[in-house]
């Protein structure tokens, strides 16, 4: 995917934030771009602003994602790049969450990626020149934190699916590559995801609020979506699997891995003593 001009990209969650920034970057590279989003007014505005095609899509619904794939192929003949980017935030202590809280986050963040791969991978594999899939996870998919258990669970799942898929495709010598995007803090609308929560799931009982002292600490870490889009473009062109936007925040991941290895070493010593 070192030459993007004339190729076709589909970006879910493309009406704002990281998705919109990626769509703009791909369009600037000469790609034909389809953006998908559940928020219709924002989708129409973004499609008009960027000069791309907008398709209203609910990624939690397999039929809706398949309709997106069908629309992209009908418009452009094929798809070369899929960005499974749509996602929602949500939090609260696990003891306080309802099953509907879990369903909403899992349906969008995890099933949305599964639906995207299921509908689009056959299209990418059929291309003579291959293709690329970018799955948006998070640093929260590599190191869990309190208060965002469902979010972490889905993002760990996205990382695992991405690793499995990349290994399978490499083993088959397929011309489709995979990247997993693990950003830190980005200035997006994810903290107001509840605006798009389906009515039949009700409203979250308790909306998590970031304490002022915590916000003061993390505010300097926020970056703009354009910076993330540049990192994604680089990964697609160069064929990188891991995409990290906040290398300064990797220490938490390393610490978790260190605890795992310490426990494994203790188990090994116990088994051999």
Residue-wise pLDDT tens digits, 109-155: 999 999 999 999 999 999 999 999 999 999 999 999 999 999 999 99
pLDDT of 61 reads 98
Residue 231: CB atoms within 10 A of its CB come to 18
Q: Does residue 192 lie within any of the structural domains?
A: yes
Q: Which domain holds residue 239?
A: 8-248
Q: Does residue 270 lie within any of the structural domains?
A: no
Q: Does residue 261 lie within any of the structural domains?
A: no
Question: Which member of 151, 155, 182, 197 is catalytic?
Answer: 151
pLDDT of 216 reads 74
**Rounded-to-integer distance, Cα 196 and Cα 264, Å:** 42
Q: Does residue 266 lie within any of the structural domains?
A: no
**Rounded-to-integer distance, Cα 187 and Cα 190, Å:** 8
Which CATH number belongs to the domain containing residue 43 in this structure? 3.40.50.720
pTM of the model: 0.94
pLDDT of 90 reads 83
Q: Does residue 265 lie within any of the structural domains?
A: no
Q: Does residue 263 lie within any of the structural domains?
A: no
Q: Does residue 182 lie within any of the structural domains?
A: yes
Q: Does residue 272 lie within any of the structural domains?
A: no
Quick one: tokens of 37? 């989003």
Active site residue 151: yes
**Cβ-proximal residues to 173 (8 Å cutoff; 6+ apart), any chain:** none
Q: How many structural domains does the chain have?
A: 1
Q: Which residue positions in the chain have pLDDT lower than 50? A: none
Name the E strands within the chain. Answer: 8-12, 32-37, 53-56, 81-84, 131-136, 176-182, 242-244
pLDDT of 212 reads 65
Of residues 95, 112, 85, the one with CA closest to residue 146? 95
Exposed e or buried b for every residue in 20-51, given b needs 16+ CB within 10 A?
bbbbbbbbebebbbbbbbbbeebbeebbeebe
Alpha helices for 127-224 (secondary structure H): 149-171, 212-218
């Amino acid at each position: 995917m070192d030459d993007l001009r004339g190729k076709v990209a589909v970006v879910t969650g493309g009406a704002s934030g990281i998705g919109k920034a990626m769509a703009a970057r791909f369009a600037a590279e000469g790609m034909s771009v389809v953006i998908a989003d559940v928020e219709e007014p924002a989708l129409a505005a973004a499609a008009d602003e960027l000069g791309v095609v907008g398709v209203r899509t609910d990624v939690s619904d397999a039929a809706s994602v398949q309709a997106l794939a069908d629309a992209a192929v009908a418009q452009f003949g094929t798809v070369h790049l899929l960005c499974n980017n749509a996602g929602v935030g949500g939090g609260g202590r696990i003891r306080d969450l309802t099953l509907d809280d879990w369903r909403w986050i899992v349906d969008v963040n995890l099933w949305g990626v599964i639906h995207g791969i299921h509908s689009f991978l056959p299209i990418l594999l059929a291309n003579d020149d291959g293709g690329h899939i970018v799955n948006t996870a998070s640093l929260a998919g590599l190191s869990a934190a309190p208060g965002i258990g469902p979010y972490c669970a889905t993002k760990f799942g996205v990382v695992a699916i991405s690793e499995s898929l990349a290994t399978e495709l490499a083993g088959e010598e397929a011309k489709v590559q995979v990247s997993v995007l693990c950003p830190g803090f980005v200035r997006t609308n994810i903290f107001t995801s509840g605006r798009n929560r389906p009515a039949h799931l009700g409203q979250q009982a308790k909306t998590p609020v970031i304490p002022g002292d915590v916000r003061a600490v993390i505010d300097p870490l926020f970056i703009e979506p354009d910076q993330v889009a540049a990192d994604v473009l680089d990964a697609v062109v160069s064929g990188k699997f891991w995409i990290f936007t906040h290398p300064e925040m990797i220490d938490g991941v390393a610490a978790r891995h260190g605890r795992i290895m310490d426990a494994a070493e203790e188990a090994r010593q116990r088994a051999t003593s």
